[in-house]
Amino acid sequence: MLAFFLLSISFTTKSSTYTLPANTLAQNNLALEDIPTLHEEMQLSFQSGVSLPYKKRLEQLKQMKKMISENEEAICNALKEDLNRPRFESVIYDSLIPLGEITEAIKHLKSWMAPEKKGFNLLAFPSSQWLQKEPVGTVLVIGSWNYPFMLSFVPVMGAIAAGNTVVLKPCNVSSACARLQAELVEKYMDPRIVSVVGPAIKGDRHTTAALLQHKFDTIFFTGSPDVGKVVARGAAEHLTPCILELGGKNPVFVDKSANVSLAAKRTIWGRNMNAGQQCISPDFVMVHKDVIDDFCKACKSWLNEFYANKDPKESKDFGRIVGDSQVQRIKKMLKGHRGKVIAGGEVDEETRYIAPTVVKVSLKSPALEDETFGPILWVVPVDDMEEAIRYQQTKPKPLTMYIFSSNESVTQRIVQNTSAGGVTVNGCLFHCGHPELPFGGVGNSGMGGYHGQASFDCFTHKKPVMDKKVWKDGGLLSDPFVLYAPWNDFKLAALRNLF
């Protein structure tokens, strides 16, 4: 059992009075049998109202900002241990992006919390009406291993800003990062607002299963579609809404009108961030047959440029695959693609190194079936963009899509006749970092979105409220008799004019 300490916080409901217990002081040591108690604690904490005031939300957001900014080196070191992540990438993804999101929330929190006034409606006259922003309650955030701090802390930030209490479950695949998340949250955050479970428990499956046995008010999950289905099934038992940030086979369209060198440059860059281990990476490229050779040459040239004409294995700017099983999965794809290797292809299982690789394949290649999640770019010649559109229409909806074209009609043809969570034209990744563009999937790539105000909204219930005014007019206008029985044709005719 846990050693709980009573806080001097009590609250009263119509039926009973509660004394609110604090969470354990050692979140790194929480075991599976502690999860029911933790869940109950966090629910009681929300019911106490401690997470609701603007000042408390602001305090915790500032603490999150301090937590990340004061521990950037520790974050980079953990990412180096788990993923051999280049420091540049670590700072951008797991420090600067979360800090930017938190700064945005601090700046706009009052306006996000403010009721949304709604307009006049004759049937309800006289009245005032608005949407009241209320937190959903106690939420569960299940993080991922590839960007463990960003993909945990940004949704946690949104949940805190919205006034919820949070249980955070980091992913133990990146174990050093999971342990550090627990240590930092314990040190900087109010345990009544956010607590961490999982780093002390081997693996992830049993912890997730134990958490899903309890009713949360929203679940935010980042991971694969297969695990997303498991989370959704568990949530369905409690009718719990989910935000699922999943993955997919993200396509790139390169039209013959495109700047081919720029398309290759930005695609190679986007593919090899974090050694290809990101859900928004360009996965395969459908290139107009007239420019396919130029595109392949440009890809090879940019690989040499990015890694200074050296072996990428020796480069400090290229990471490693997170685990042995992931190496074997990607290695199998390299063996079975039935195409031609343009660049790369080397594998060192001992150091979990897979070279940044470009492979030319056909639309029938087995490599196009599953998400790669590694540093391999599949390049496919197509007769034209119409063939590419037809192919993509038969596939599950991806998380992201990228289009390179200088022909506006071609660009709009692709945008309007395909579906994806989000699109960047003449670039890769960029739309995912814009605070006013919600980031999320559609269909097989997920549901719901976040970033910017959307991070607040996905943990908020916008409750419609109407204040019906009472006038001293004998009900002539404020309580019209046509609403009440007995009804007749005259009353019905009068009401028709109100719609």
3-state SS class at 218: strand
φ and ψ at 382, to 5 degrees? -130, 155
Whole-Å CA distances, 49 to 45, 53, 68: 7, 8, 26
Residues facing residue 253 across a β-bridge: 286, 403
Distance CA 402, CA 410 (A): 13
Place of tokens 């930030």: 157
Of 242, 245, 296, 428, which one is the catalytic site residue?
A: 245
Which residues in 371-406 are b (16+ Cβ under 10 Å) and which e? bbbbbbbbbbbbeebebbbebbeeeebbbbbbbbbe
Q: Which of 177, 279, 299, 458 is catalytic?
A: 279
Q: How many CB atoms lie within 10 A of CB 262?
A: 14
CB atoms within 10 A of CB 114: 12
Distance (Å, whole) CA 320 – CA 316: 11
Q: Is 369 among the residues known to form the active site? A: no
Beta strands in 361-475 (DSSP E): 376-382, 400-404, 422-425, 439-440, 446-447, 449-450, 460-468
Residue among 464, 27, 459 at smallest CA distance from 216? 459
Which residue, among 173, 396, 405, has the nearest Cα to 283 in the 3D structure? 396
Annotated active-site residue 350? The verdict is no
> Which two tokens mark 470?
């009472």
Phi, psi of 427 (to 5 degrees): -175, 175
Active site residues: 245, 279
